[in-house]
Amino acid sequence: MVYSFLRVLIRILLYIINGRPHYVNRQNLPKGSYILVGPHRTWFDPILYALAASPKKFSFMAKEELFKNPVIRWILVHCHAFPVNRTNPGPSAIKTPVKILRQGELSTVIFPSGSRHSQHLKGGAVVIAKMANVPLIPTVYQGPLTFKSLFSRKRITVAFGRPIQIDRKQKMDEAGRDALDKQLQQAFNQLDQKINPDFKYVDVTKK
């Protein structure tokens, strides 16, 4: 109920503030559960990913510090978010999303870099996809990078790549994860080029 209400509310507010978002390759989204993976470019891109893939509902990883505030915790829990210690993730960072995905009702959004300020991919998403037996959907966002810049009405674009199904026999050693990381990065680059050949991401927090 809360998730559906907030999704409608955010969609309306986004349309008023920024206009109609542009979604590319929605036909690449499977009918079952899956993982949207992409570079983390702004604090609100998880929301935009979920809106772009609607009506599918999503679970989200959120840093555990956010759950200390009772109001925010209530919202996060009702929006299918679960806490993760970013410094010491622990087994639950893998087991929780795997359990959610296996149940088949929700998909999930994972940013392999783990942080908006890191371009280095991590192997957690591919391990989760393999264990849950769901595909990875490469996803990229281009558009405003701060809440204030949303009012500039620069167009929001979310693009989906072709599903990547992890072979159950795929080794998850360093070499195996690196190969999949490279495949994901190539998919991100291709999607960015398709949206805008001149695109170059700039971390606005470092200006």
- How does pLDDT run across 63-110, given as a tens digit for each residue? 889 899 999 999 999 999 998 887 777 778 889 999 999 999 999 999
Residue 21 and residue 49 in contact, taking contact as beta carbons nearer than 8 Å: no
Confidence of residue 113 (pLDDT cuts 50, 70, 90): low
Q: What is the DSSP letter of 36?
A: E
Q: What are phi and psi of 24, to 5 degrees?
A: -115, 130
Mean pLDDT score, 193-199 = 93
Residue with tokens 């809360």: 2
Tokens representing 72 are 């925010």
The pLDDT tens digits for 49-58 are 999 999 999 9
What is the reported pLDDT for 99?
94
**CB of 146 within 8 A of CB of 204?**
yes
At residue 180, the pLDDT reads: 87
* The predicted structure's pLDDT at residue 116: 46
Question: Residue 122: what pLDDT?
Answer: 60
List, in order, residues 6 or more apart from 161 with CB less than 8 Å away: 25, 28, 137, 138, 139, 187, 188, 190, 191
Reported as a single tens digit per residue, the pLDDT across 140-172 is 999 999 999 999 999 999 999 999 998 887 777
pLDDT given for residue 88 in this prediction: 77
Cα 20 from Cα 43, distance rounded (Å): 20
Strands 81-84 and 58-63: parallel
pTM as predicted: 0.89
pLDDT at 118 over 50: no
Minimal CA–CA distance to 125: which of 39, 27, 2?
A: 39
Report the alpha-carbon distance of residue 158 to residue 46 in Å, rounded.
11
Task: Report the candidate in 74, 49, 71, 52 with the shortest Cα–Cα distance to residue 60.
Answer: 49
Give residue 137's pLDDT band: very low, low, confident or very high (50, 70, 90): very high
Q: Which residue has the tokens 């036909």?
A: 27
